A and B are shown apart, each in its own frame.
Chain A
Amino acid sequence: MWDYSEKVMDHYRNPRNVGSIDNADAVGVAGSLTCGDQLKIYLKIENNIVTDAKFQTFGCGSAVASSSILTEMIIGKTVDEVRKITNKDIADELGGLPPEKMHCSVMGYEALEDALKHYSADGYVDLDEILDEHYGKPEKKEKMVCTCFEVTENAIWDAIKVNGLKTVEEVTNYTKAGGACGKCKSAIQDIIDTYYNKQKTEIEKLTPTQWILKVNNVIETQISPELQKDGGDIELVDIKNKTIYVKLKGRCSGCKNSTMTLKNFAQKVLQDSLGTDVTVIEAE
């Protein structure tokens, strides 16, 4: 039995916005019958705002829940806001998904991306044309990594980027790639390696100011909010190459666990987000 959240169960039991929209302004498709899940999403867009969304899903409980909640998340939003939604947002909104089911949230994201790709302000979109293009995908220029589930290099790259995936197993949970015959596992490992190496070289190319801004951004958006939850806080003091000097504030300052907070939490988050080894030290 899967460990589904209450919200997931509520959405597959009572899916919202099921159906199709005649003369939709945008239609997107992800997945296929052979792969075991497919999602079609239909959007009505007026004055650049999504006024209605409907879906049809062939898939398991979490696929239906991901599709259903996605329609709720996008109705009333501008197209630009909708374009920013990632699979992680969908999973978070559902109160999380079991790791093996993360690919369901990716399918929601892909269908949405597909819909907006075909969105034109002129309105009418021909679904059959989209389906032809969808099923014609393998012939296209995109490089196919997993032929069993037809997962492209770009799709894997996106999943790594959005979700910070580190291992082949995680990539399989999120994209299904490598989940059948397993022949592409080394290719997936190569993509992971390339992604993190690229991140590393990108960091090495940064000017000192860009590097400081990047570090500070991680501290402010990812570390500080967590510490604030416990009545503490953190502040960037100085950076010397890859040594980051910080100051703990509030309840964190003088806390006997402060070294653990710095090494096990702050340093880990920084390393994961920056994709390179750094040392975090408390400034005197």
Chain B
Amino acid sequence: MTNLIYLDNNATTKVDERVLDEMMPYFKEEYANPSSMYNFSKKSSDAIKEARVKIRDFVNAKDEKEIFFTSCGSESANMAIRGVLNYNKNKKHIITTKVEHPCVLNLYQSLEKQGYRVDYIGVNSNGELNLEELDAAINDDTALVSVMWANNENGIINPIEKISEIIKSKNKETKFFVDAVQAAGKIPIDVQKAGVDLLGISGHKFHAPKGIGALYINSKTMITPLIIGGHQERGKRAGTENTPYIVGLGKAAELAQNGLDFELIEVKRLRDKLETNIINKIYNARLNTGAVASRVPNTTNIGFEYIEGELILLHMSDIGICASSGSACTSGSLEPSHVLRAMNVPFTAIHGSIRFSLSRFTTEDEIDYVIEKLPQIIEKVRSISPYQKELEQLKNLRR
């Protein structure tokens, strides 16, 4: 048994060796600026072209010209959102969801201060988006609808195609941005079928390194660029191309694309095994999403009632298990996860919620180890809880 069991793959992932191998020559021998005129730069400019094609295929874009490389998921989101709004200056209304990633939510809050009107669409207790509310919110002034493909905390998959249909039926000019950071590499992405105008991804969530992302912008969508400078990325994103990282992103996308079946079958099997065993073995455990809800295959979010999440994480960390928590205490903020609050997770469980997120590198032995050790940890944390009476009731109820 290794002494590190990494079940926090929605936070970041390990770089795949094959990705790193592909990148290495562009750090060493092939360091030419891809925009240069001599033969020496041909290899790096070809490598970027190749990577762009791989990302095109990864999201099934029509043309590789619709793919733009960025430095991360946050940049992709900023480039898309600000880009669309700055291009359509007369429109001041935006629609998003209450459960978006903070990198997007914080941007919308800052835009509100600049005079934009933002509607935040709610979710039900399973974490599923209220589509009627979304439908009703769209009007003539709506510049942008922004919805994440999959949620980072609970793994819920939003019906992107359906949302796109709703948007286009209400206002054909409204642009649709999808933050697909948590969906990429876990489920198939097809921007054409789903009717997406802009879509952001981030490499380090699917075994590329940190510091590289991409934005898909369909050819009919115009944006005002964020970073002005050279002509790189067809003038939409200045800055000398980060050749090794772009190559790495392309390779990681190719591997993820080929590994989707493994993700949907094998990773899901291990996730389900972990989830079922925790729920069955630990009487104060509850699944925070509906069991039947449509979720990415690697994520489970479980609330442990009447105990606190940071303490669970600390005890798990002591034996090498890495996961994350929706608890207020872990984040430095004082409030528990906005996603779990939007889902109305009961306050008895919200502070004790733990997210486990697997990857293709997670092994059965690791899952078995967690299944073996977690009940003891939970028992230890329960034993110091002031809610002994309530825990006793819960135990009797579950019998």
Q: Mark A residues whose CB is within 8 Å of B.
A: 12-13, 15, 18, 20, 29, 33-34, 36-40, 55-61, 63-64, 100-101, 103, 148-149, 172, 176, 179-180
Contacts and interface: CB of A to CB of B under 8 A. Distances in A.
Contacts of A176: 334
A29 B386 CA distance: 10
B329 A33 contact: no
Contact of B333 (A40, A55, A179): A179
B335 A180 contact: yes
A57 B351 CA distance: 13
B132 interface: no
Given A39-B386, A56-B388, A61 B334 contact: no
Interface stretch (B15-23, B76-84, B305-313): B305-313
25 contacts: A20-B388, A29-B386, A33-B306, A33-B348, A36-B308, A36-B351, A37-B308, A37-B329, A37-B351, A39-B386, A55-B384, A57-B386, A58-B306, A58-B307, A58-B351, A58-B387, A59-B329, A60-B309, A60-B310, A60-B314, A60-B327, A64-B384, A101-B329, A148-B335, A179-B333
Given A36-B336, A64-B384, A180-B334, A59 B347 contact: no
Contacts of B335: 148, 179-180
B131 interface: no
A61 to B, nearest CB: 5
Interface string B351-384: 1000000000000000000000000000000011
A101 B386 CA distance: 20
Most buried by B among A61, A172, A180: A61
A195 B221 CA distance: 57
Interface of B: 306-311, 314-315, 318, 327-330, 332-336, 347-348, 351, 383-388
A33 B310 contact: no
B334 A36 contact: yes
Most buried by B among A64, A101, A103: A64
A280 B306 CA distance: 54
A38 B311 CA distance: 13
Given A38-B386, A58-B386, A58-B387, A64 B328 contact: no
Contacts of A18: 383-384
A76 B315 CA distance: 31
B339 to A, nearest CB: 16
A190 to B, nearest CB: 21
A15 B334 contact: no
B308 A58 contact: yes
Most buried by A among B309, B332, B334, B384: B334
B335 to A, nearest CB: 5
A12 B311 contact: yes
A103 B315 CA distance: 21
Contacts of B309: 60
Given A12-B314, A58-B308, A33 B387 contact: yes
Contacts of B384: 15, 18, 55-57, 64
Given A33-B347, A36-B327, A61 B383 contact: no
Given A13-B318, A18-B383, A36-B351, A59 B308 contact: yes
A6 B180 CA distance: 41
A36 B329 contact: yes
A271 B257 CA distance: 64
Contact of B314 (A33, A61, A103, A179): A61
B310 to A, nearest CB: 4
A172 B311 contact: no
